[in-house]
Amino acid sequence: NDNHGALFSDRCCNRPLGTTMLRWARVALGTAVVEASNIWVVDVSGKSLGDQVAVQTCSGLFNRDETVAGASFVLGLTSADAQWLADLEPTSTKTELSVSDYLTKCLTSGVSKGYIKYSTWDGGARQTLPQVITLAGVLDAVVLDDSAHSPQGATLLRDIDTEWYQWSELTATKYMFDNYVQLTTGASKTNPGWDTTSLDQFTVPNMNKGPAIRLFDYVVKRKLFNFFLLLGCVSLTSEHDLTNNMATSNPWQKPVTVYGYDNTISLAGSIYEAETMCTSTHNWGQVASDGASNMAFFSRTDPVTSPPPQNSESPQTYDPTKTYISFIIGDGDNVGYLTTSRRSWMEERVSKCQSGAGCWPLLWSISPHLPYLAPKMLQWYYNEALKTGNDFFVLPPSGHTYSYPSQQSEPDLSEFVRLTEVDATVIGTTASVAWEWWDTWHTAMQTYFPKYATNNVVRSGYAVNVPYLFDTLVRWRYNNFNVYGEKFVLFRPHEWRGTRGSRVPGVHDTMLSVAEMASQINGYPKGTATHIYLTSDGGGNLQDLYDLVGAFDDHVEVVSHNVLADMALGQVASMEQVV
């Protein structure tokens, strides 16, 4: 997630190869309808916010059912948009349109039922924009400034400038929830531009940032209940009262998946980005996605429901004279990262492997929501991994969603475990990153983590403490990990955020230089099984891992996730034999 590193911040798949490859060939090519459709391509680079919002709402409507008037792809939202379109749709028919022509087609082709007049693009009045996007979704409408673009005879469905004049985000959210929540399929949060990094947000909130609009197309397509409440997670406020009311009386699947991103109260990282502590129900979890563009388009193809072809792991026998370590590339729950920076990291990794720079096992955390949000994008990542022969995927924080699962009550907690196991099966992994709030680890170890030992679908977890500079306040029986039900291995937090160094207690250990980290790992007692969770918010990058491996002593071996779990259990068996 944007603030993940901030303070708050083949055993599963016994299917015939032919069957798996056939399914993935279908995903790669898409359905006949998808490939036969025309893709309207529009570039919003340098366009006004009003133009961009209108285009985004249209894109959501086009991509709901492309048999009506074709599919839609928007360029200019991120630097990677054009490359993804070229890579994932190489043979599709693409037609580029100007913004004006695109909006005309949208308004006259039958994909929309009309338009919503909205022209409040500046200042605090823009605070209702997220809620307007919800309205666009449920009304099948285009959000349009009709003073800038002709509605082409389309029906005016709502005049927000008049009807919602001087409304606050609280008023707009309550209105939408009271009148339209039963027409929505889930929840999302997108910041309209509030500055959430200053204490002024509690007294004189400032709308001085650009709004998060990249997910608007998906919000419209899915008819998500989109909103943002600056104080929605802060106790003793009217906004929090409304949030709690929405949490206890909505039609959405539980635990609730919240798309977008909650960066409220970002004073030392976002306290509420995981969503769990935002509501009294504690059953909301985040799919960080406010930076992910064209999800309405990418989600057109059939979702992935079975594991993709992937690299195999070689079983090993535990050797007490070695130290075993796995590397996890962090923050893969953030779909926006997967569409941008993590793509670059993957390309760098493939290049290094192919050039002979080194190709030891590497684990990538990847969103379990990519199988339906962007099936072809998921395929791209797995295809790239196959090029190296040594790259694997694990579930990101904290399994099914970024959340603090142990705070959930039953039956939500057991359902979260079930969903995480389904996710693991779909992407073909047995491991997950596991985040918990600093003072809930004891509860998590009593009521949550042991659940994974029952089915043994998820064999291991990589703990990350939030805030990371605090202690977990629990005992780690085998120093670097605990074992539950003699099957599930939970590895102790070991986050590496960068190499710049720090004198701040708690931060220092996450910002070690390569030499310091190598000294730490080399100095572990032989026979140790451990890991490093690498994040980029502190400047950490792929080259740091390459430099680190080069500084390892000969007894340190980099291994994959199943091997690490086996070696941890081997370490336990070895210690018990000694006793």
Three-state SS at 302: coil
Strand positions, DSSP E, 312-405: 323-329, 362-365, 391-394
pLDDT value of position 11: 32
- Bridge partners, 39 (sequence order): 71, 94
Tell me what pLDDT residue 352 has.
99
Phi, psi for residue 554 in degrees, rounded to 5: -65, -25
Say how far apart CA 196 and CA 232 lie, in whole Å: 12
Domain ranges of the chain: 31-298, 326-540+552-578
Q: List, as own/partner pairs, every contact residues 503-512 make where C-beta atoms lie below 8 angstroms and the sequence separation is at least 24, other chains included.
A: 504/469, 505/469, 506/467, 506/468, 506/469, 506/470, 507/469, 510/5, 510/468, 510/469, 510/538, 511/538
Buried/exposed 502-521: b ≥16 CB within 10 Å, e otherwise: beeeebebbbbebeebbeeb
CB contact at 8 A, 2 and 273:
yes
Q: In what order do the strands lie in the sheet with 141-144?
A: 141-144, 114-117, 156-159
The number of beta carbons lying within 10 Å of the beta carbon of residue 76 is 16
- The whole-number pLDDT of residue 271 equals 79
Contact by Cβ (8 Å): 231, 240: yes
Residues in the chain with pLDDT < 50? 1-36, 579
User: Would you state the CATH architecture of domain 326-540+552-578?
Assistant: Alpha-Beta Barrel (3.20)
CA angle 533, 357, 542 (to 5 degrees): 25
Token pair recorded at residue 22: 């056939």
Whole-prediction pTM: 0.92
Per-residue b or e along 426-463, where b marks 16 or more CB atoms closer than 10 Å to that residue's CB: bbbbbbbbbbbbbebbeebbebbbebbbeeebbbbbbb
